[in-house]
Structure 1
Amino acid sequence: MTAQAQTAPTILRRKQVEARTGLARSTIYQHIRAGTFPAPISLGAKSVGWIEAEVNAWLEARIDDSRKT
């Protein structure tokens, strides 16, 4: 029987999400309210983060949308 190694999801903080997407903080939260960007998860009383895989999927979808003819 082989053991599968499970990797923990990577969490991105807001500054990292801004750098990765090129979006400003206010734009990110506008997209979240509109339901067009992944919602953050709570990391504590005053901190949130985004799951990297969800942000990457959002970016890939934007790339695919922009490449459609």
Structure 2
Amino acid sequence: MLRRKQVEERTGLSRSTIYRRMRAGTFPQAVPLGGRLVGWRAADIEQFLENPVRYRAPVPARDDMGGTP
């Protein structure tokens, strides 16, 4: 797991750019670590760095099991 400062160093992106791109789906999502702490999976950041311009975050699977039929 990489912390924000490490992600900033590896990607060259600022904090605000990272969070803006996360909202846009063009940067890997942070993983909650407890409390206010978050981190990013190193593999996700490496995948992003392979092609930052074309990167799209995977869409989380929806839980379709609990709704009305």
- TM-score bracket, normalised by the shorter chain, equals 0.7 to 0.9
More helix per residue: 1 or 2? 1
More strand per residue: 1 or 2? 1
Structure-1-length-normalised TM-score: 0.74
Task: Report the aligned-residue RMSD.
Answer: 1.9
User: Which runs of 5 or more residues in structure 2 are unaligned?
Assistant: 56-69
User: Which runs of 5 or more residues in structure 1 are unaligned?
Assistant: 1-10
Identity among equivalent positions (%) equals 55
Moved over 2 A (4+): 62-65
| Bigger CA radius of gyration | 1
Structure-2-length-normalised TM-score: 0.74
Q: Give the distance between the partners of 1:15 and 1:48, measured in 2 at CA.
A: 11
Number of residue pairs matched? 55
1:9-48 paired onto structure 2 within 5 Å: 11-48=1-38
Q: Give the distance between the partners of 2:25 and 2:17, measured in 1 at CA.
A: 12
